[in-house]
Amino acid sequence: MELVTVDIGGTHARFAIAGVAADRSITMGEPITLKTSDYASLKTAWEAFESQYGQVLPRRAAIAIAGPVTGETVRMTNNSWVLHTGALDEQLDIDAVSVMNDFAAVAHAVAHAPEDQLLHVTGPKGPLPGKGTISVIGPGTGLGVAQFYRNGGTYHVQATEGGHIDFAAIDALDDALMAKLRSAHRRVSTERINSGPGIVHIYEALAALEKRSIQPLEDREIWQAAFSGKDSLAVAAMDRFCLNLGSVAGDYALAHGACGVVLAGGLGYRMRDILPKSGFGERFRFKGRYEGLMASIPVKLITHPQPGLYGAAAAFASEHGV
Protein backbone atom coordinates (compact mmCIF):
# COMPACT_ATOMS: atom_id res chain seq x y z
CA MET A 1 0.00 0.00 0.00
CA GLU A 2 1.22 3.50 -0.84
CA LEU A 3 0.30 6.79 0.81
CA VAL A 4 1.37 10.41 0.89
CA THR A 5 3.08 11.26 4.16
CA VAL A 6 3.32 14.92 5.17
CA ASP A 7 5.17 16.66 8.02
CA ILE A 8 4.10 20.29 8.44
CA GLY A 9 6.32 22.41 10.67
CA GLY A 10 6.50 26.09 11.40
CA THR A 11 8.96 26.74 8.56
CA HIS A 12 8.73 23.79 6.14
CA ALA A 13 6.25 21.24 4.89
CA ARG A 14 7.83 17.94 3.88
CA PHE A 15 6.13 15.48 1.54
CA ALA A 16 7.04 11.94 0.52
CA ILE A 17 5.49 8.77 -0.84
CA ALA A 18 5.61 5.92 1.69
CA GLY A 19 5.04 2.23 1.17
CA VAL A 20 3.63 0.07 3.97
CA ALA A 21 4.12 -3.70 3.67
CA ALA A 22 1.91 -6.42 5.14
CA ASP A 23 4.24 -6.69 8.15
CA ARG A 24 3.96 -2.87 8.62
CA SER A 25 7.54 -2.27 7.57
CA ILE A 26 7.83 1.14 5.93
CA THR A 27 9.80 2.36 2.94
CA MET A 28 9.97 5.98 1.88
CA GLY A 29 10.74 7.79 -1.34
CA GLU A 30 12.88 10.90 -1.54
CA PRO A 31 11.16 13.72 0.37
CA ILE A 32 10.35 17.09 -1.16
CA THR A 33 10.56 20.11 1.15
CA LEU A 34 8.48 23.25 0.59
CA LYS A 35 8.57 26.49 2.58
CA THR A 36 5.21 27.07 4.25
CA SER A 37 5.56 30.83 3.76
CA ASP A 38 5.54 30.28 -0.03
CA TYR A 39 2.05 28.73 -0.01
CA ALA A 40 -1.35 29.96 1.09
CA SER A 41 -2.56 26.60 2.39
CA LEU A 42 -1.94 22.89 2.60
CA LYS A 43 -4.03 22.44 -0.56
CA THR A 44 -1.79 24.67 -2.68
CA ALA A 45 1.35 23.05 -1.24
CA TRP A 46 -0.17 19.61 -1.96
CA GLU A 47 -0.71 20.65 -5.59
CA ALA A 48 2.90 21.87 -5.81
CA PHE A 49 4.15 18.53 -4.46
CA GLU A 50 2.04 16.60 -6.98
CA SER A 51 3.45 18.77 -9.78
CA GLN A 52 7.03 18.12 -8.66
CA TYR A 53 6.36 14.40 -8.10
CA GLY A 54 5.10 14.16 -11.67
CA GLN A 55 2.54 11.39 -11.07
CA VAL A 56 -0.96 11.03 -9.69
CA LEU A 57 -0.72 10.85 -5.90
CA PRO A 58 -1.98 7.88 -3.84
CA ARG A 59 -5.46 8.37 -2.36
CA ARG A 60 -4.33 7.91 1.24
CA ALA A 61 -2.45 10.40 3.42
CA ALA A 62 -0.83 10.70 6.84
CA ILE A 63 -0.43 14.31 7.95
CA ALA A 64 1.62 15.45 10.96
CA ILE A 65 1.03 19.02 12.12
CA ALA A 66 3.08 21.30 14.39
CA GLY A 67 0.42 22.26 16.92
CA PRO A 68 -2.43 20.82 18.96
CA VAL A 69 -4.70 18.57 16.90
CA THR A 70 -8.07 19.03 18.60
CA GLY A 71 -11.50 19.51 17.10
CA GLU A 72 -12.29 20.10 13.44
CA THR A 73 -10.05 23.15 12.95
CA VAL A 74 -6.30 23.30 13.54
CA ARG A 75 -4.48 26.62 13.56
CA MET A 76 -0.77 26.09 13.10
CA THR A 77 1.37 27.22 16.02
CA ASN A 78 4.24 28.74 14.03
CA ASN A 79 2.75 29.52 10.60
CA SER A 80 -0.49 30.96 9.24
CA TRP A 81 -2.11 27.84 7.77
CA VAL A 82 -5.55 26.79 9.04
CA LEU A 83 -6.51 23.13 8.50
CA HIS A 84 -10.06 21.79 8.62
CA THR A 85 -9.22 18.24 9.64
CA GLY A 86 -12.72 16.85 9.19
CA ALA A 87 -12.75 17.83 5.51
CA LEU A 88 -9.19 17.03 4.43
CA ASP A 89 -10.22 13.92 2.51
CA GLU A 90 -12.62 16.02 0.43
CA GLN A 91 -10.26 18.98 0.05
CA LEU A 92 -7.33 16.81 -1.05
CA ASP A 93 -9.47 14.34 -3.03
CA ILE A 94 -8.34 11.29 -1.08
CA ASP A 95 -10.11 8.28 0.44
CA ALA A 96 -8.45 7.99 3.88
CA VAL A 97 -6.38 10.30 6.08
CA SER A 98 -4.76 10.25 9.50
CA VAL A 99 -4.00 13.59 11.17
CA MET A 100 -1.77 13.92 14.22
CA ASN A 101 0.48 16.27 16.14
CA ASP A 102 3.95 16.38 14.59
CA PHE A 103 5.67 15.08 17.68
CA ALA A 104 3.12 12.32 18.06
CA ALA A 105 4.37 11.25 14.61
CA VAL A 106 7.97 11.42 15.83
CA ALA A 107 7.02 9.29 18.84
CA HIS A 108 5.61 6.68 16.44
CA ALA A 109 8.93 6.81 14.57
CA VAL A 110 10.90 6.26 17.77
CA ALA A 111 8.66 3.34 18.74
CA HIS A 112 9.40 1.70 15.36
CA ALA A 113 13.07 2.69 15.03
CA PRO A 114 15.69 -0.08 15.05
CA GLU A 115 18.41 0.25 17.64
CA ASP A 116 21.01 1.29 15.05
CA GLN A 117 18.99 4.48 14.42
CA LEU A 118 19.15 5.53 18.10
CA LEU A 119 22.44 7.24 18.90
CA HIS A 120 23.58 7.13 22.55
CA VAL A 121 23.79 10.58 24.18
CA THR A 122 24.07 9.97 27.92
CA GLY A 123 23.04 7.53 30.64
CA PRO A 124 23.30 3.73 30.49
CA LYS A 125 24.25 2.25 27.14
CA GLY A 126 22.17 -0.43 25.48
CA PRO A 127 18.65 -0.50 24.04
CA LEU A 128 15.75 1.50 25.43
CA PRO A 129 13.62 -0.43 27.94
CA GLY A 130 10.93 -2.60 26.37
CA LYS A 131 8.33 -1.53 28.94
CA GLY A 132 7.55 1.92 30.32
CA THR A 133 7.25 5.52 29.20
CA ILE A 134 9.64 7.12 26.70
CA SER A 135 9.81 10.92 26.45
CA VAL A 136 10.41 12.34 22.97
CA ILE A 137 11.78 15.89 22.77
CA GLY A 138 12.91 17.95 19.80
CA PRO A 139 14.15 21.50 19.35
CA GLY A 140 13.40 23.09 15.99
CA THR A 141 11.33 26.12 15.02
CA GLY A 142 9.60 25.42 18.35
CA LEU A 143 10.08 22.75 21.01
CA GLY A 144 8.22 19.51 20.32
CA VAL A 145 7.32 17.14 23.15
CA ALA A 146 5.49 13.79 23.15
CA GLN A 147 5.61 10.53 25.04
CA PHE A 148 4.65 6.93 24.48
CA TYR A 149 4.11 3.97 26.75
CA ARG A 150 5.05 0.55 25.53
CA ASN A 151 4.51 -2.90 26.93
CA GLY A 152 6.19 -5.59 24.90
CA GLY A 153 4.94 -5.45 21.33
CA THR A 154 2.31 -2.73 21.84
CA TYR A 155 2.59 1.00 22.48
CA HIS A 156 0.40 4.08 22.91
CA VAL A 157 1.44 7.60 21.90
CA GLN A 158 0.38 10.73 23.78
CA ALA A 159 0.91 14.12 22.13
CA THR A 160 1.59 17.10 24.39
CA GLU A 161 2.20 20.84 24.17
CA GLY A 162 5.05 20.58 26.66
CA GLY A 163 7.14 23.15 24.80
CA HIS A 164 4.86 25.82 26.25
CA ILE A 165 5.53 25.17 29.94
CA ASP A 166 7.31 27.94 31.87
CA PHE A 167 11.06 28.33 31.45
CA ALA A 168 12.88 27.41 34.66
CA ALA A 169 15.95 29.55 35.44
CA ILE A 170 18.83 27.75 37.14
CA ASP A 171 21.71 30.26 37.33
CA ALA A 172 22.58 33.92 36.80
CA LEU A 173 22.71 33.68 33.00
CA ASP A 174 19.26 32.08 32.97
CA ASP A 175 18.10 34.96 35.18
CA ALA A 176 19.46 37.41 32.61
CA LEU A 177 17.65 35.54 29.82
CA MET A 178 14.42 35.66 31.81
CA ALA A 179 14.76 39.40 32.43
CA LYS A 180 15.47 40.05 28.74
CA LEU A 181 12.52 37.99 27.53
CA ARG A 182 10.10 39.16 30.20
CA SER A 183 10.59 42.72 29.00
CA ALA A 184 9.07 41.64 25.67
CA HIS A 185 6.67 38.88 26.74
CA ARG A 186 4.25 38.68 29.64
CA ARG A 187 5.11 35.00 30.05
CA VAL A 188 8.31 33.17 29.08
CA SER A 189 7.79 29.61 27.87
CA THR A 190 10.65 27.15 27.68
CA GLU A 191 10.57 27.06 23.87
CA ARG A 192 11.54 30.76 23.80
CA ILE A 193 15.01 29.47 24.71
CA ASN A 194 15.01 25.73 23.99
CA SER A 195 14.34 26.00 20.25
CA GLY A 196 16.32 27.06 17.20
CA PRO A 197 15.44 30.78 17.49
CA GLY A 198 16.31 30.68 21.20
CA ILE A 199 20.01 30.80 20.43
CA VAL A 200 19.61 34.49 19.51
CA HIS A 201 18.64 35.31 23.10
CA ILE A 202 21.50 33.21 24.47
CA TYR A 203 24.00 34.83 22.09
CA GLU A 204 22.87 38.33 23.04
CA ALA A 205 22.89 37.52 26.78
CA LEU A 206 26.47 36.21 26.55
CA ALA A 207 27.52 39.33 24.62
CA ALA A 208 25.97 41.53 27.33
CA LEU A 209 27.79 39.51 30.00
CA GLU A 210 31.12 40.25 28.27
CA LYS A 211 30.06 43.84 27.51
CA ARG A 212 30.72 43.03 23.87
CA SER A 213 29.20 45.03 21.02
CA ILE A 214 27.63 42.73 18.40
CA GLN A 215 25.68 43.10 15.18
CA PRO A 216 22.11 41.71 15.24
CA LEU A 217 22.09 38.22 13.70
CA GLU A 218 19.34 35.80 12.70
CA ASP A 219 19.26 32.44 14.45
CA ARG A 220 20.35 30.64 11.27
CA GLU A 221 23.46 32.84 11.07
CA ILE A 222 24.39 32.10 14.68
CA TRP A 223 23.90 28.36 14.25
CA GLN A 224 26.01 28.37 11.08
CA ALA A 225 28.76 30.29 12.86
CA ALA A 226 28.59 27.89 15.80
CA PHE A 227 28.77 24.73 13.69
CA SER A 228 31.66 26.17 11.66
CA GLY A 229 33.54 27.18 14.81
CA LYS A 230 34.39 30.56 13.28
CA ASP A 231 32.68 32.65 15.98
CA SER A 232 33.71 31.84 19.55
CA LEU A 233 30.68 33.61 20.99
CA ALA A 234 28.37 31.54 18.77
CA VAL A 235 30.15 28.37 19.90
CA ALA A 236 29.68 29.43 23.53
CA ALA A 237 25.98 30.07 22.82
CA MET A 238 25.64 26.57 21.36
CA ASP A 239 27.37 25.09 24.40
CA ARG A 240 24.93 26.96 26.60
CA PHE A 241 22.02 25.76 24.45
CA CYS A 242 23.09 22.16 25.14
CA LEU A 243 23.06 22.85 28.88
CA ASN A 244 19.58 24.33 28.81
CA LEU A 245 18.29 21.50 26.63
CA GLY A 246 19.68 19.00 29.12
CA SER A 247 17.84 20.75 31.95
CA VAL A 248 14.47 20.74 30.24
CA ALA A 249 14.87 17.17 28.95
CA GLY A 250 15.47 16.09 32.54
CA ASP A 251 12.37 17.99 33.65
CA TYR A 252 10.22 16.17 31.08
CA ALA A 253 11.67 12.81 32.11
CA LEU A 254 10.66 13.49 35.71
CA ALA A 255 7.20 14.78 34.74
CA HIS A 256 6.50 11.80 32.44
CA GLY A 257 7.94 9.19 34.78
CA ALA A 258 10.13 8.18 31.85
CA CYS A 259 12.46 5.21 31.71
CA GLY A 260 14.09 6.62 28.56
CA VAL A 261 14.37 9.85 26.59
CA VAL A 262 14.84 10.31 22.85
CA LEU A 263 15.89 13.59 21.24
CA ALA A 264 14.61 14.37 17.76
CA GLY A 265 13.93 17.26 15.40
CA GLY A 266 16.01 18.81 12.65
CA LEU A 267 18.20 20.76 15.03
CA GLY A 268 18.70 17.75 17.28
CA TYR A 269 19.85 15.76 14.25
CA ARG A 270 22.35 18.48 13.28
CA MET A 271 23.74 18.41 16.84
CA ARG A 272 24.14 14.63 16.94
CA ASP A 273 27.95 14.79 17.14
CA ILE A 274 27.93 17.68 19.63
CA LEU A 275 25.38 16.67 22.26
CA PRO A 276 27.19 13.54 23.58
CA LYS A 277 30.35 15.63 24.22
CA SER A 278 28.54 18.66 25.66
CA GLY A 279 27.26 19.52 29.13
CA PHE A 280 23.83 18.13 28.19
CA GLY A 281 24.23 14.99 30.29
CA GLU A 282 25.44 16.85 33.39
CA ARG A 283 22.44 19.20 33.30
CA PHE A 284 20.09 16.30 32.56
CA ARG A 285 21.19 14.63 35.79
CA PHE A 286 21.27 17.86 37.85
CA LYS A 287 18.04 17.23 39.78
CA GLY A 288 19.14 17.34 43.43
CA ARG A 289 18.00 14.29 45.37
CA TYR A 290 17.01 12.59 42.10
CA GLU A 291 20.45 12.74 40.52
CA GLY A 292 20.87 8.98 40.96
CA LEU A 293 17.53 8.30 39.29
CA MET A 294 18.39 10.60 36.38
CA ALA A 295 21.72 8.81 35.89
CA SER A 296 19.80 5.56 35.35
CA ILE A 297 17.78 6.93 32.41
CA PRO A 298 19.20 6.33 28.92
CA VAL A 299 19.04 9.28 26.52
CA LYS A 300 19.20 8.62 22.77
CA LEU A 301 18.94 10.66 19.60
CA ILE A 302 17.01 9.32 16.61
CA THR A 303 19.14 9.54 13.49
CA HIS A 304 16.44 8.79 10.92
CA PRO A 305 16.64 11.84 8.62
CA GLN A 306 12.82 12.23 8.38
CA PRO A 307 11.25 10.83 11.57
CA GLY A 308 8.09 12.92 11.16
CA LEU A 309 7.36 11.46 7.72
CA TYR A 310 8.30 7.95 8.77
CA GLY A 311 6.26 8.16 11.99
CA ALA A 312 3.19 9.60 10.28
CA ALA A 313 3.15 6.61 7.93
CA ALA A 314 3.49 4.26 10.92
CA ALA A 315 0.59 6.03 12.66
CA PHE A 316 -1.60 5.64 9.56
CA ALA A 317 -0.84 1.93 9.41
CA SER A 318 -1.73 1.55 13.09
CA GLU A 319 -4.95 3.59 12.85
CA HIS A 320 -6.24 1.95 9.69
CA GLY A 321 -5.18 -1.61 10.53
CA VAL A 322 -2.88 -2.00 7.55
Give how far Cα 72 sits from Cα of 75, 99, 146, Å. Answer: 10, 11, 21
- 9 is known to lie in a ligand binding site: yes
Q: What does the alpha-carbon distance between residue 166 and residue 164 come to, in Å, rounded to a whole number?
A: 6
- 302 is known to lie in a ligand binding site: no
Q: What does the alpha-carbon distance between residue 188 and residue 103 come to, in Å, rounded to a whole number?
A: 22
> Which neighbouring-strand residues pair with 322?
none
Give how far Cα 289 sits from Cα of 207, 251, 252, 293, 296, Å. Answer: 34, 14, 16, 9, 13
Give how far Cα 31 sits from Cα of 27, 52, 99, Å. Answer: 12, 11, 19
Interior CA angle at 89 toward 88 and 90, to 5°? 90
Residues 9/1, Cβ–Cβ less than 8 Å: no
Cβ burial, residue 85 (10 Å; 0-12/13-18/19+):
middle
Residue 68's identity, in one-letter code, is P
Residues 319/313, Cβ–Cβ less than 8 Å: no
Three-class DSSP category at 181: helix
- Which of 295, 296, 223, 233 has the alpha carbon at shortest distance from 266? 223
- 10 is known to lie in a ligand binding site: yes
- 77 is known to lie in a ligand binding site: no
- 311 is known to lie in a ligand binding site: no
- Which of 155, 148, 51, 138 has the alpha carbon at shortest distance from 102? 138
H or E element at residue 315: helix 307-319
Q: What does the alpha-carbon distance between residue 117 and residue 302 come to, in Å, rounded to a whole number?
A: 6
Binding site members for ATP: 6-11
Per the annotation, binding residues are: 6-11
